[in-house]
Each structure stands twice: as C-alpha cells, then as structure tokens.
Amino acid sequence: MRNRVNVASRSRSQISENTVLKNTYMLLGMTFCFSAIMALVSLMTNAAPINPLLWLAAMFGLQYATVANSQTAWGIPMIFAFTGFMGYSIGPIIALYLGAYSNGSELVFTSLGATGVIFFALSGYVIANGKDYSYMGGMLFVAILVAFMAGIGAMLFNMPILSIVVSGAFALISSGLILFHTSEIIHGGEKNYILATMSIFIAIYNLFLSLLRILAFFAGNRD
C-alpha cells in the first residue's frame, strides 16, 4: 500500500512539474513575441535611450509588481508589462549598433540566433538528462555580484577590455541561470510559471546583450 501511495505521489508531482514547464515555455514564447513587437515599435519611432536611473527604477518596480502578483490574476498583465518594457528599452540599444557598425544588422541577428541556439541547447540538455543543478544557485549569485561590480569599475575607469571580460562573464552566468532555472522547474523547486518565465526571460535578455557586445568588439566594423 505504501509503495502505491509513493508511486501515486511521484506521478502527481511529475505531472505538476511538466505542467509548470509547459506553461512556462508557452508564456515565455508569448512574452518574447510581445517584447520583440515593443522593440520594433521603439526602433520605428526612433525612441531615445531611457535614463539609466529611470530604467533601473522601472525594471525593479515591474519585477516587484510581477513577483507580488504572481499568485493572482494580475500576474499575467504584470509579466507582459515587464517584458514589454524590457523590449522597448532594448530598441535604442539595437539602433545604436545598427547605426554605429556597417555590419550592425549581422551582429544583431547573429547574437539573436546564437542566443536562441544556446537557450534551446541548454534547456533541452537539462530536460533530457534530468540532472539537478540547484547547487549552482549560490555560485551564480556570487558570480553576478562580482561581475556587476567589475562592470561598474569598467565604466568608471573607461576600461574596454575589462568591459568585454565582464560581458563574457555575464554570458556564462546567463547560461548557468538557464540551466539552474530549468532544473528548478523540472525538479519542483519552482512551481510558479510566471516567476519561472520572468527568471528565464531575464537570463536570455542578458545573454543576448552580452553576446552582442562581444561580437561588436571582435567582429564589428565601425562606420
């Protein structure tokens, strides 16, 4: 009897985890489409770059609102507001690369394609082998803090080489976060698909920007 109960419990848990994964990927696809539309709107209207302090305030504010409403019906509008804002704010950044480099469009599409390949490869790998990457949480948190402080130093002291090193670090960290968050979903560590979507979206967003900076530095041809 006990074995039957345990099997039934594991079965229900697996069904729940598969549902979270399915809903996360579905919502992730929809939010990326919306984010891309907002980025196109930003590009077509020649939107000016958002003030960094205002950008930080809006980003963290929308993140907080998404987390606070993740268990309610307002969670869906909040995640779309967050991802839409992120897409709109990336428009001026893409416009900068398109205008500053003769091969800007190639850089953008190569970065976008590489980001997609990395995401699907890493998430597919975790799902296929079922390995638990929860142990990476602490290491990734420390790595983010170190890379963030190094990035601030690179900006303050105008050190382009350090800036590229930081971009490489963030590309690796973002890849690690994709492994970590996907693992959390399939092992039951994350049961809220709205929060899972936001976490993976941020990792992919940062991965794209990091790859774009790296490609522009090594392969870009300035006008």
> pLDDT tens digits, residue range 56-65?
999 999 999 9
Q: Which amino acid is at 168?
A: G
Structural contact between residues 17 and 186, judged by C-beta atoms closer than 8 angstroms: yes
Question: What pLDDT was estimated at residue 5?
Answer: 41
Mean pLDDT computed over every residue of the chain: 89
Which pLDDT band, with edges at 50, 70 and 90, does 1 fall under? low
Q: What pLDDT digit, counting tens, does each position of 184-212 carry?
A: 998 888 889 999 999 999 999 999 999 99
Query: Is residue 143 classed as helix, strand or coil in its secondary structure?
Result: helix
Phi (first) and psi of residue 51, to 5 degrees: -50, 130
